[in-house]
């Protein structure tokens, strides 16, 4: 696919997807959703980590509301089902770790796009806003699933009902994101985080994602069984052999990936 609304590149096993409509604060158009979906799928096949970030001073302002006439006639159920769901599933089902590098405002569906990644890192000047009730809507793009799991029922309900800004520092303190980083250090920091994952044991990372996600629906007994199956699978990989050898030889491990 030729990209018009994002930029996409793979370097050193890191696939970087940059939302690139800074004039509208990277608002999500139909074209952008399709391009994000395609790029994440490609990154999952060809790289060892996928990063989502934004161009300019915003991460993503959510659904593009620029044309009020078209929005008024928008079939929101169809758009969510046919355009948002594939994009969010591509991120959730990505076989390699995903990072949202939130470089600025993340509002509405843009906030929940940021939370869809395995790890969310935000610059301290960024904020998250469940803006939906401001225009008579309910949170979508996975927000009602991510938020209660990340910050609990009380905080999730307040964030959705009051539609107030949550600063990056608050999001960090509440457990909504992995970390908030100073603006000056932000770019170098998320790149270092991505490089760390790109050089790590890819199969083990896939197992981590599966185990933690399944834990919400499992009993302790079934979770212990899942851990045993996943550990058995990882124990047969070259990465495990290399990790043990590196430990014994007191040197950094050199993982091959896939």
Of the candidates 198, 205, 193, the residue with the CA atom closest to the CA atom of residue 14:
198
217 vs 69: CA distance, rounded Å: 42
CA dihedral 201, 207, 211, 212 (to 10 degrees): 40
Q: What is the pLDDT of residue 72?
A: 64
Q: How far is CA 175 from CA 27, 58, 62, 194, 240, in A?
A: 26, 21, 22, 20, 30
Q: Is the pLDDT of residue 218 over 90?
A: yes
Q: Is the pLDDT of residue 67 over 90?
A: no
pLDDT digits (tens, 9 = 90+) for 12-57: 999 999 999 999 999 999 999 999 999 999 999 999 999 999 999 9
Pick from 18-27, 69-78, 129-138, 239-248: least confident: 69-78
In the β-sheet with 14-19, what is the strand arrangement from edge to edge? 6-11, 14-19, 49-54, 98-102, 119-123, 179-181
Q: How far is CA 116 from CA 120, 186, 228, 255, in A?
A: 8, 20, 27, 26
Do residues 5 and 31 make contact, with C-beta atoms less than 8 angstroms apart?
A: yes
Q: What is the pLDDT of residue 166?
A: 98
125 vs 204: CA distance, rounded Å: 33
How large is the C-alpha radius of gyration of the chain?
19
pLDDT digits (tens, 9 = 90+) for 152-202: 999 999 999 999 999 999 999 999 999 999 999 999 999 999 999 999 999
- Domain over 202-249 is classified CATH 1.10.260: no
Q: Is the pLDDT of residue 8 over 90?
A: yes
The residue written with tokens 């457990």 in the block is: 175
Once rounded to an integer, what is the mean pLDDT over residues 59-67? Answer: 86
What average pLDDT does the chain have?
94
Name the percent of the chain lying above pLDDT 90: 93
pLDDT digits (tens, 9 = 90+) for 220-231: 999 999 999 999
Q: What is the pLDDT of residue 75?
A: 84
Q: Is the pLDDT of residue 69 over 80?
A: no
3-state secondary structure 53-91: EECCCEEECCECCCCHHHHHCCCHHHHHHHHHHHHHHHH
DSSP state, 28? B
3-class SS of residue 2: coil
pLDDT digits (tens, 9 = 90+) for 120-145: 999 999 999 999 999 999 999 999 99
**Residue spans in the chain of domains classed CATH 1.10.12:** 202-249
Q: 2 pLDDT band (50/70/90 cuts)?
A: confident
Structure tokens at 144: 């009602």
**Residue spans in the chain of domains classed CATH 3.90.226.10:** 6-198
- Domain over 6-198 is classified CATH 3.90.226.10: yes
């Amino acid at each position: 696919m030729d990209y018009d609304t994002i930029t996409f590149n793979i370097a050193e096993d890191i696939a970087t997807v940059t939302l690139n409509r800074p004039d509208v604060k990277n608002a999500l158009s139909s074209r952008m959703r399709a391009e994000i979906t395609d790029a994440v799928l490609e990154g999952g096949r060809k790289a060892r980590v996928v990063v989502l970030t934004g161009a300019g001073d915003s991460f993503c302002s959510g659904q593009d509301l620029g044309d009020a006439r078209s929005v008024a006639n928008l079939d929101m159920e169809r758009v969510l089902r046919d355009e948002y769901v594939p994009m969010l599933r591509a991120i959730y089902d990505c076989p390699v770790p995903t990072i949202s590098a939130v470089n600025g405002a993340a509002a509405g569906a843009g906030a929940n796009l940021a939370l869809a990644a395995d790890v969310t890192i935000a610059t301290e000047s960024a904020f998250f806003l469940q803006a939906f009730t401001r225009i008579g809507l309910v949170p979508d793009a996975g927000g009602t699933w991510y938020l209660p799991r990340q910050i609990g029922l009380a905080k999730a309900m307040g964030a959705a009902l009051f539609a107030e800004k949550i600063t990056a520092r608050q999001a960090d303190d509440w457990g909504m994101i992995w970390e908030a980083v100073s603006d000056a250090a932000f770019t170098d920091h998320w790149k270092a985080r991505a490089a760390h994952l790109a050089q790590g044991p890819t199969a083990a990372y896939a197992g981590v994602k599966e185990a933690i996600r399944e834990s919400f629906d499992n009993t302790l007994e079934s979770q212990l069984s899942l851990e045993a199956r996943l550990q058995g699978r990882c124990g047969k990989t070259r990465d495990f052999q290399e990790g043990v050898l590196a430990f014994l030889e007191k040197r950094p491990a050199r993982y091959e990936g896939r």
